Amino acid sequence: MSLIHKSAAELGALVAGGEVSAVEVAQAHLDRIAAVEPQVNAFLHVDAETTLGQARAVDARRAAGEDLGPLAGVPIAHKDVFTTVDMPTTAGSKILEGYRPPYDATVTRRLREAGLVILGKTNLDEFAMGSSTENSAYGPTRNPWDLSRIPGGSSGGSSAAVAAYEAPLSTGTDTGGSIRQPAAVTGIVGMKPTYGGSSRYGLIAFASSLDTPGPFARNVMDAALLHEAFSGHDAMDSTSIDAPVPSVVEAARNGDVAGLRIGVVKEFGGDGYQAGVLARFHETVELLESLGAKVVEVSCPSFSTALPAYYLIAPSEASSNLARFDAMRYGLRVGDDGTRSAEEVMALTRAAGFGPEVKRRIILGTYALSSGYYDAYYGQAQKVRTLIARDFEAAFHQVDVLVSPTTPTTAFPIGERADDPMAMYLADLCTIPTNLAGNAAISVPCGLADEDGLPVGLQVMAPVLGDDRCYRVGAAVERALEGRWGGSLLSKAPAL
Ligand SMILES: NC(=O)C[C@H](N)C(=O)O
C-alpha cells in the first residue's frame, strides 16, 4: 500500500519505528497534491520547501531521541482560518490576500509540538460563511467523489484534501456545521468538539460564541488522535474550558455500544430529506440496536427554531468581529491616494474586499443589533438558544447520545444553491442545534445514497464534555459497516 493510502496512526508508527522518514511521508503527499490539485483545488497555499523543512526537523528530533507522540511525522492540511507564521492566512477572503500573521494560533502551535507536518492551507468559504466552499474568493473546491459537486463548507478544502488522499488529516472549524457537513458529503469523519474544548486563539473569528476547531480524518481513531493532539485548556482563550480532554482515543479504541441509550431526534428526518439519506440513517440506527444499544425516539421541539436563531446570532457576532477589517490594520487598502478620508478608504476597501455572502451577514447582523430592534431579533434569538440547550439537557437525562442524519441531502452540484442563500443555509439544519448549545457532535460515514451513489453521514451528538461518547458510537458504526463493505467507504470512491 502506498504511503498516501495509509492511516495517520500507521504513518506515525512507521516514522516512530524508523521504517520511513517524515521527509519521505511528506514528499509522497506533496506529489499527490501536485497530481490532483488541478482537479480538486483543496489548497490555497502549498510550499514544498517549508513543508519539507518541518519534516526534516521532525526527523532530527526523532534521531535525537525525543519522544514525539503518535502523530509525529504525519502530514496535515490546515484550514486557512488559523494563523500560521510561516504561511499566509487569508480566511478565503480578498481582504486578507497575502496577509502574514505575526504569530501561530494555539491549534497551529500544538500541531507543530506534536510533530505534525503542515502541508499547506486549505480553501474555505470566505470567513467560514457558507456550506459549499463556493464563497471562497479563490474559486471553489471540488468533491473528490464527483468533481461537479461541492465538498461541503465552510471547511471544504480540508474535507476534500483528506477524501482525495492529499493528506491523512486536516483541521476544520465548526460554527454551524462547517466540519460535520463537509465530512458527511465527502465520506470521511469530522468532529465538532465541545465549545471551549479546543482553543480559538489565533483562529480568525466569525462568531466567537460558536466557533470550534476540530479534526477531519479518514477513520475514527485518526480523528481522535488529532483531537487529543490539539485540544485542551488554553489560557490565551477566555472561553477555554479548564478541564482534561475527554478520553477520546480510548473511546475510539473501545467502540462498545452495548447498553448505551441512543435517542433518535424526532424533529429531524421528515419532509425535505433525501430518501437515500433517510434509508442509510435508519439502517444505521438498526445496526446500533443489533450491537446492543437501546434505541428510543426523543423529541427536541426547539430544534426546529435553531436555524433562524443561528442566522441572527452568527451574523450579529460576525458584524462585530469583522469590523476590524478597516483598511488600516490588515491586508487590502483601496483608494488611499491622499485625496480621500479614512472613512472613504475604509468603505471602498470593505466594498472591494468582502464577497456578497459576507456583506449579507454584516448587514443582517448590524440590523439585528441596532437599537430598537435588538430585543426583537438578537434578544429573541438568545432566548431560543436557551430553549435549545434545555432540550438537550432534557434529552440527555433520558439517553446517552442523540443521533440524526448529518445533512438532509448528499453533496449538491456546484452552482445549484449559489444564488439561493436559504437553500444553502438548510444544509446545516441538523448540525446547528449543537453549536447553539455548545455540546459535542461527530459525523461518521454510514453508506451511499441509492439515488446518486454519494456518501451519507450519521451525526452523533453528546453532552458538553461527552466528546468520548461520539467516538465510541462512531467507532462501533465504522467497525460494523467496514466489516460489511469489506473496507472503508472511501475505497468505493471513483479514483482521481
Ligand atoms: N461556519 C459554519 O459552520 C457554516 C455555516 N454553514 C455558516 O455558513 O455559518
Task: Give the atom of ligand 1 at the shortest distance from the alpha carbon of 425.
Answer: 6
Placement of cell 511521508 in the chain: 25
Cell of 220: 475514527
Residues annotated as catalytic are 79, 154, 178
* CA of residue 488 to ligand 1 center, whole Å: 28
Distance 466 CA to ligand 1 centre (A): 23
pLDDT of 147: 98
Per the omega criterion (within 30 degrees of 0), is the bond before 154 cis?
yes
What does the pLDDT read at residue 281? 98
Cα–ligand 1 centroid distance for 129 (angstroms): 5
Best substitution site from 123, 136, 154 to test ligand 1's pocket, by max atoms within 8 Å of Cβ? 154
Residues 6+ apart with CB under 8 A from 248: 224, 227, 228, 467, 468, 471
ipTM: 0.97
- Under DSSP, is residue 9 helix (H, G, I), strand (E, B) or coil? helix
214 Cα–ligand 1 center, Å: 14
The domain spans of the chain are: 3-254+470-492
Per-residue pLDDT at 97: 96
Site to probe by mutation for ligand 1, drawn from 80, 175, 191, 434 as the one with most ligand atoms within 8 Å of Cβ, is 175
| Cβ contact 237:200 at 8 Å | yes
Cβ contacts of 53 within 8 Å, gap of 6 or more: none
Mutate to test the pocket of ligand 1, among 132, 135, 178 (most ligand atoms within 8 A of CB): 178
Measuring from each residue's beta carbon to the nearest atom of ligand 1, which residues come in under 6 Å?
128-131, 154, 174-178, 314, 428
Which ligand 1 atom minimizes the distance to the CA of 174? 3
φ, ψ for residue 45, nearest 5 deg: -150, 125
Query: Which ligand 1 atom sits nearest the alpha carbon of residue 314?
Result: 9
Distance 89 CA to ligand 1 centre (A): 19
Q: How far is the CA of 479 from the centre of ligand 1 (A)?
A: 30
Reference 59, options 46, 49, 74; nearest CA is: 74
Distance 441 CA to ligand 1 centre (A): 15
**pLDDT value at position 131?**
98
CA 427 to ligand 1: nearest atom: 6
Question: Looking at the DSSP assignment, which residues form a beta bridge with residue 189?
Answer: 217
pLDDT at 268: 96
> Which of 124, 129, 321, 412 to probe ligand 1 with, by most ligand atoms within 8 A of CB?
129
Distance CA 312, CA 315 (A): 6
CA distances from 331 to 46, 91, 97, 466 (A): 20, 12, 6, 40
Spatial strand order of the sheet with 455-462 comes to 43-46, 117-122, 75-79, 169-174, 212-217, 189-192, 440-448, 455-462, 401-405, 261-265, 294-298
Ligand 1 atom nearest to 128, measured from its CA: 1
Stated length of the chain: 496
Residues of the chain with pLDDT under 50: none
Report phi then psi at 446, rounded to 5.
-130, 15
Whole-number pLDDT of residue 221: 98
CB neighbour list of residue 24: distance below 8 Å, 6 or more residues apart: 3
Output the residue whose Cα is nearest ligand 1's atom 5: 176
- The three-point CA angle 223-224-225 to 5° equals 90
The letter for the amino acid at 266 is K
* CATH for 3-254+470-492, options being 3.90.1300.10, 3.40.50.300, 1.10.3720.10, 3.30.70.420: 3.90.1300.10
pTM, whole model, 2 decimals? 0.98
**Rounded distance from Cα 206 to ligand 1 centre (Å):** 9
pLDDT tens per residue across span 394-437 = 999 999 999 999 999 999 999 999 999 999 999 999 999 999 99
In order, the DSSP letters of 394-433 are HHHHH-SEEEEESSSSSPPBTTSSTT-HHHHHGGGTTTHH
Distance CA 457, CA 452 (A): 14
Q: Which atom of ligand 1 is nearest to the CA of 310?
A: 9
Q: Is 53 exposed, middle or buried (0-12, 13-18, 19+ CB in 10 A)?
A: middle
Ligand 1 mean position to 131 CA, how many Å? 6
Taking the CA of residue 175 as reference, the ligand 1 atom at the shortest distance is: 3
The reported pLDDT for the residue numbered 30 is 98
